[in-house]
């Protein structure tokens, strides 16, 4: 994971503010507010005021999590519509009943499902009550009308999807206010991407994907076409549409990290009371906030004899485990290619050590290290694929810390 920051050209943020936030997003928000009922407007205004939209667009990366927490706490209707798993996963359901064979002759199974109806109604009512969930209310009202075990099972299956966060069935049937449904029109990412996407990517000065540190992300500006990296939303816009145009929520990344591995996976870990934080509580690392430069990500088990191969392990550390899992970094690095990389680094390092007399002298030779770490003339790890791998490998081989 490479930590980076944006350096926008002069005038970029002013243009972004006046031509996009003010002229597009705030105008659309006001139109939406004008269509609200008086009651809806009271709630919608706290999110869709000019000031709120501006603050969200320019929110600092370190504050994104608090913003999500604030908006989700203040607007349960948004959680309910965009992230119902957050509500539904906190309740217990009898999903074991979904496995039962409900064919006509299985009277006992059919009765078990039918008998569960009252309990299911009660749980849905509690979600509606405790979380102000319109979706739970809709499901509750639907279920009341159902009588056959197959119908009840089908509804339970929909509840299971919500509980597992797999899909959001029925959300368009439940009576959500239009300002809630239209957030992605107000926080208009498509417009943002087409007008400012290339400039945002360029302003990161990244040449390697910050998530995997493996794939180059080079902009190729041809005469007819431009090939540019993906612009990932660190907090996915499908769940957090109010962060869809937030500059600090954008991370240029490779196609593999963005489209294959991360997709719309939720990267928000709920804020919990400090006394509830245990050893297993860890969070995702946002590359505008933190990087892995100072901590060890890779471990190596050297070959024990001529017949065995060394082993590469993406073992990480507490603050990085969720990223390793999300971006499946083991599948990227725990492969033969990186065993060969390790062997070749070990070979050149041992040669150098032999010439210099000690590992420390080899490490202290800046020219050699620039070559070994493939840094070239300009020392900038943001431009070197697998820099972290090479660094950890050299430190493991030499048993010394490299001073950067």
The contact set with Zn ion (CB under 5 A) reads 209, 211-212, 215, 254, 257
- Do residues 211 and 1 make contact, with C-beta atoms less than 8 angstroms apart? yes
Minimum distance between the CB of residue 120 and Zn ion, rounded to whole angstroms?
43
Helix or strand holding residue 299 (H, E): strand 298-301
Rounded Cα–Cα distance for residues 177 and 174 (Å): 10
Minimum distance between the CB of residue 333 and Zn ion, rounded to whole angstroms?
12
Q: Which residues have C-beta within 8 Å of that of residue 197, sequence separation ≥ 6?
A: 228, 231
Minimum distance between the CB of residue 327 and Zn ion, rounded to whole angstroms?
7
| Token reading at 74 | 């203040």
**CB nearer Zn ion, residue 333 or residue 342:** 333
Gyration radius of the chain's alpha carbons: 26
**CB nearer Zn ion, residue 124 or residue 254:** 254
**CB nearer Zn ion, residue 287 or residue 310:** 287
- Do residues 160 and 98 make contact, with C-beta atoms less than 8 angstroms apart? yes
- Do residues 384 and 216 make contact, with C-beta atoms less than 8 angstroms apart? no
**CB nearer Zn ion, residue 143 or residue 209:** 209
**CB nearer Zn ion, residue 138 or residue 261:** 261
Minimum distance between the CB of residue 256 and Zn ion, rounded to whole angstroms?
5
Q: Which residues have C-beta within 8 Å of that of residue 325, sequence separation ≥ 6?
A: none
List b or e across 295-325, with b for residues whose CB sees 16 or more CB atoms inside 10 angstroms.
eebbebeeeeeeeeebebebebeeebbbbbe
Minimum distance between the CB of residue 260 and Zn ion, rounded to whole angstroms?
9
**CB nearer Zn ion, residue 115 or residue 331:** 331
Rounded Cα–Cα distance for residues 324 and 316 (Å): 7
Minimum distance between the CB of residue 229 and Zn ion, rounded to whole angstroms?
9
């Amino acid at each position: 994971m490479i930590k980076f920051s944006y350096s926008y050209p002069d005038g970029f943020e002013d243009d972004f503010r006046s031509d996009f936030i003010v002229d597009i997003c705030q105008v659309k928000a006001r139109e939406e507010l004008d269509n609200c009922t008086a009651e809806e407007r009271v709630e919608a205004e706290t999110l869709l005021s000019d000031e709120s939209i501006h603050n969200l667009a320019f929110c600092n990366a370190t504050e994104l999590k608090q913003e999500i927490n604030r908006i989700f706490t203040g607007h349960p209707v948004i959680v309910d519509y965009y992230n119902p798993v957050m509500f539904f996963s906190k309740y217990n359901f009898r999903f074991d009943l979904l496995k039962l064979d409900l064919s006509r002759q299985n009277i006992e199974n059919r009765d078990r499902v039918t008998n569960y109806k009252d309990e299911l109604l009660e749980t849905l009512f509690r979600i509606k009550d405790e979380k102000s969930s319109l979706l739970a209310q809709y499901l509750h009202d639907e279920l009341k009308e159902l009588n056959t075990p197959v119908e009840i099972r089908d509804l339970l299956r929909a509840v299971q999807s919500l509980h597992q966060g797999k899909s959001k069935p029925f959300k368009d049937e439940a009576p959500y206010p239009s300002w809630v449904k239209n957030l992605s029109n107000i926080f208009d990412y498509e417009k943002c991407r087409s007008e400012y996407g290339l400039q945002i990517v360029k302003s990161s000065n990244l040449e390697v994907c910050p998530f995997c540190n493996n794939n180059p992300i080079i902009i190729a500006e041809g005469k007819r076409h431009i090939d540019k990296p993906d612009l990932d939303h660190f907090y996915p816009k499908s769940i957090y549409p109010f962060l869809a145009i937030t500059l600090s929520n954008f991370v240029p990344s490779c196609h593999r990290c963005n489209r294959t591995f991360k997709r719309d996976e939720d990267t928000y870990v709920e804020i919990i009371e400090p006394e509830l934080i245990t050893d297993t509580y860890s969070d995702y690392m946002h590359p505008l906030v933190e990087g892995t430069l100072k901590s060890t990500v890779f471990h190596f088990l050297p070959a024990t004899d001529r017949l065995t191969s060394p082993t590469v392990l993406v073992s990480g550390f507490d603050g990085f485990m969720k990223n390793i899992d999300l971006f499946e970094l083991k599948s990227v690095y725990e492969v033969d290619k990186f065993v060969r990389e390790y062997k070749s680094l070990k070979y050149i390092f041992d040669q150098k050590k032999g010439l210099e007399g000690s590992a420390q002298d080899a490490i202290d030779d800046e020219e050699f290290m620039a070559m070994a770490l493939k840094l070239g003339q300009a020392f900038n790890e943001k431009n070197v694929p697998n820099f972290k791998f090479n660094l950890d490998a050299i430190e493991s081989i030499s048993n010394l810390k490299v001073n950067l």
